[in-house]
Structure 1
Amino acid sequence: MADIVNLRQFKKRKAKDAKEQSAAENRIVFGRTKTEKQFDRNVSRRTELFLDGNRLETDVPPGKDKP
């Protein structure tokens, strides 16, 4: 004989399991701490400043000499 199942509870459990699966996927994709995000921003900023400071060419219009 089959077990008796309350459909309302079954639907709620299925929805809860789907939501938990989605949350687990989001934790993998977006789960970085504030410190990790800040570190990446700092590295990016330092790299950009380094490259700008060591640029060989400047934005001088053609025909104009450097001062």
Structure 2
Amino acid sequence: MAEIINLRMARKAKARATAQATADANRAKHGRTKAERQAAEREEEARARLLDGARRERDEGE
């Protein structure tokens, strides 16, 4: 004879598994460590300084 299961519990378990898979995918897609975020921020600041340093000054008459 087949095993009797509670459909409500099975449905909730499936929903939990789906939610966990979605959370794992989002963590892989969006999650960065603090060191990675800080490195990206330093890189962006260095890029901005380089751009500002290469900018030509405008005269008042222009």
Instruction: Flag whether TM exceeds 0.5 (same fold).
Output: yes
Percent identity (aligned):
35
* TM-score normalised by L of structure 2: 0.82
Deviates more, 1:13-22 or 1:2-11: 2-11
Q: Which has the larger helix fraction?
A: 2
CA RMSD of aligned residues (A): 1.8
The answer to whether residue 24 in structure 2 is matched with residue 21 in structure 1 is no
Distance 1:53 1:5, change over 3 A: same
Question: Secondary structure of the equivalent of 2:5?
Answer: coil
Q: Which of the pair has more CA radius of gyration? A: 1
Question: 1:49 is matched with which residue?
Answer: 49
TM-score with structure 1 setting the length? 0.77
Gaps spanning 5+ residues in structure 2: where?
A: none
Larger relative contact order, structure 1 or 2 (CA cutoff 8 Å, min sep 6): 1
Q: Does 1:36 align with 2:36?
A: yes
Q: Deviation above 3 Å: which 4+ runs of structure 1?
A: none
Following superposition, the deviation at residue 51 of structure 1 comes to 1.1
Where do 5+ consecutive residues of structure 1 fail to align? Answer: none
- Deviation (angstroms), 1:11: 1.3
| Number of matched pairs | 62
Aligned residue identity for 1:58: E
